Amino acid sequence: MPPDFADYYDAVMNWEKRLARELPLLLELARGAGRRVLIPACGPGAHVVALAREGFSVRGFDADEEMVGLARLRIAREANPILAAGGAATISLLRMENAGELGPTYDAAYCLGNALPGISGDGQLAAALRGVAGALRTGGLFFTQNLNYDLRWRDKAQWFPVLSGETDKEEILLVKFADYEPQAINFHAMFLARERTGGKWQSHVRSSRQIPLFRDLLARLLTQAGFGKLQFWGDYAKVPFDPETSNDLLVVGEKMDCREEQNDS
């Protein structure tokens, strides 16, 4: 059976626990920004549905066809609660650097789940952030949550907690590990799967190259993409970011008016 990485990822993610931690801040930011929310790299669409069920008009997009397909199924299952709340949810197959073709119409954009460090091609992350900026109205908010790479690069941890879950047909374990190059991290997700009726375990590995997205580097890239008024937090409770101790790096910024930037320069 060929691996279905989207299903596997969705199966091992405790969405109830994760959304309980993340949604209060996402709702707070969206209520202050406006009704139209964009979610780049939306994965299986859990955040899209959660916000749409709160009455927001949400568009998610991802460059992974399997993830897009899974997100569309999730939206279809939740169509009635979304409609009852007055929300809306749509999903597109799209690369982040092309997001500008959607705007500038959105009030807020959320890029979650440590998605940005995996955009590691030459100049690709800068182009991706410019694309998202192009989808936002002037004054719109951009919020991103990533790991604290200042800390991770210092400690160079290689092994991470094992996650588990089930799909309709299989039991799933996720073993995560990393190795380090002079200027990059090779991150490996090894999914172990077996049929729930007692089949043999099969392993499937998906590897990605990540850039160590330090706080100062991310701040510089966001500024170059047209974002200002940046705030840095270490968790969803808005505790100030500490490069020595924070597990995560959360950043919120505002899309600046190009005319203001020209006047400042």
Is the CB of residue 221 less than 8 Å from the CB of residue 126? Answer: yes
- Give me the chain's average pLDDT, please: 95
pLDDT at 261: 47
Written as six digits, the tokens of 180 are 């380090």
pLDDT at 117: 97
Task: Report the distance separating Cα 82 and Cα 143, nearest Å.
Answer: 23
For residues 9-34, give the mean pLDDT: 97
Indicate whether 260 pLDDT > 70: no
Indicate whether 54 pLDDT > 70: yes
Indicate whether 264 pLDDT > 70: no
Q: Which sign does the torsion angle of CA 24, 56, 19, 9 carry?
A: negative
For residues 70-77, give the mean pLDDT: 98
Q: Which sign does the torsion angle of CA 256, 259, 264, 265 carry?
A: positive
Contacts of 122 (CB under 8 A, 6+ apart): none
Task: Report the distance separating Cα 139 and Cα 17, nearest Å.
Answer: 31
Output the DSSP codes for 211-256.
----HHHHHHHHHHTTEEEEEEESSTT-PBP-TTT-SEEEEEEEEP
pTM comes to 0.94
pLDDT digits (tens, 9 = 90+) for 87-134: 999 999 999 999 999 989 999 999 999 999 999 988 999 999 999 999
H helices of 61-148, in order, are 65-77, 79-84, 124-135
pLDDT digits (tens, 9 = 90+) for 185-236: 999 999 999 998 888 999 999 999 999 999 999 999 999 999 999 999 999 9
pLDDT at 2: 59
pLDDT digits (tens, 9 = 90+) for 9-21: 999 999 999 999 9
Indicate whether 85 pLDDT > 60: yes
- Which residues does residue 57 pair with via DSSP β-bridges, in sequence order? 36, 88
Task: Report the distance separating Cα 76 and Cα 80, nearest Å.
Answer: 9
Specify the DSSP class assigned to residue 105. -
- Which residues does residue 202 pair with via DSSP β-bridges, in sequence order? 193
Sheet holding 202-210, edge to edge: 163-166, 170-180, 185-195, 202-210
All domains of the chain in start order, with CATH = 5-148+213-264 (3.40.50.150), 152-210 (2.20.25.110)
Is the CB of residue 212 less than 8 Å from the CB of residue 149? Answer: yes
For residues 61-67, give the mean pLDDT: 97
* Tokens 């999903």 belong to residue: 91
Indicate whether 259 pLDDT > 90: no
Confidence of residue 170 (pLDDT cuts 50, 70, 90): very high
- CA 29 and chain centroid, separation: 16
**Helix 215-224 crosses helix 124-135 at what angle (to 10 degrees)?**
50
pLDDT at 262: 44
pLDDT at 199: 86
